[in-house]
Amino acid sequence: MKSQKEIQLSIRHLFDVYNAGGLPRPEQHEVHPGLDLGARENYLYFTFPCAINYQRNSPAMWASALATYQDEETRFIFEPTLVANASFEDIQAAMVKHKLALKTTKDPDAWRRLSLTFAEKYDADPRKLAEEADFSIARMIEIVQKERKADFPYIGGPKLSNYWLFILSRFTDITFTDPYELSIIPDVHVIRASKLLGLVGENAKPKDVDLAWRPLLKAMGIKPEVIHSALWLWSRSGFAVDIQGVTIEKVPPSNLF
């Protein structure tokens, strides 16, 4: 294993390369309608798709979300009060039209249940949940994963709850009081990159990767959502960009999302 100093130097270099735009990236990923960052509608747009973004091609899912939002006939599904009063068949049809729902029963059902939660308990406004949690990531996770898990289908799971907060931190104006409580979201790309950096061993599990990054990022002052994006892009490029202190193996670019 590399020394802590060597690992930090490599991470800092990767961070600098990412900030300079030196990592190849898809032209589109979380496409969106360009709403005001602080608008309720923007929070809704970046909340509901997160609940069905499991075992999916993420860029394709977001493309479907945008197409659904831009279609006047289907946009209603982004308004919890309208969904709460709609029939399941209408919700299903709206979500299937632009392939937002691939699981044609489970996805609309989860979307409807989540809409009921926000419509009935948070005035159809995800910002109210953040306010209730005092803008604390740890507190929001406690609410959606444990205290009211049944009210947050899929998004109440460990992976998607962190993913949702990750998305909010990137695409809304929210400011969390404890940003380093956010998981780095150790997907296949983050795990591969973490092993190559020498932060974890070859047999490391996702939880091991998450725990290894938490104190390191806090010490370095790098937010989890930023380094996640850098690691994700670096891995997807096949580690095409040399990072100081890291021996790069020839790895083909990945189409995993």
Contact 161, 141 (CB under 8 A): yes
Confidence check: pLDDT of 89 > 80:
yes
Confidence check: pLDDT of 248 > 60:
no
State the Cα angle at 140 between 136 and 142, rounded to 5°: 115
Average pLDDT value for residue range 206-234 = 93
Residue 193 has a pLDDT of 95
Q: What is the pLDDT of residues 1-20, one digit of tens each?
A: 678 888 999 999 999 999 89
Question: Rounded to the nearest 5°, which phi and psi values hold at 85?
Answer: -105, 5
Q: What is the DSSP letter of 238?
A: T
Confidence check: pLDDT of 254 > 50:
no
Question: Rounded to the nearest 5°, which phi and psi values hold at 248?
Answer: -90, 125
Average pLDDT value for residue range 26-48 = 93
Confidence check: pLDDT of 191 > 50:
yes
With bands split at pLDDT 50, 70 and 90, how would you rate the model's confidence at 29? confident
Average pLDDT value for residue range 14-34 = 87
When mean pLDDT is compared across 90-104, 106-120, 187-201, the lowest value belongs to 187-201
Percent of the chain with pLDDT over 70: 93
* End-to-end Cα distance, the chain: 28
When mean pLDDT is compared across 22-26, 78-82, 194-198, the lowest value belongs to 22-26
With bands split at pLDDT 50, 70 and 90, how would you rate the model's confidence at 256? very low
Predicted TM-score of the model (pTM): 0.88
Average pLDDT value for residue range 85-96 = 98
CA 162 to chain centre: 7
Average pLDDT value for residue range 63-84 = 98
Using CA atoms, how far apart are residues 62 and 166, in angstroms rounded to an integer?
Answer: 15
Residue 255 has a pLDDT of 41
Contact 43, 173 (CB under 8 A): no
Confidence check: pLDDT of 163 > 90:
yes
User: Which of 112, 121, 55, 56 shows the shortest CA–CA distance to 84?
Assistant: 112
Mean pLDDT score across all residues of the chain: 92
Confidence check: pLDDT of 245 > 70:
no
User: Which of 128, 143, 35, 135 shows the shortest CA–CA distance to 80?
Assistant: 128
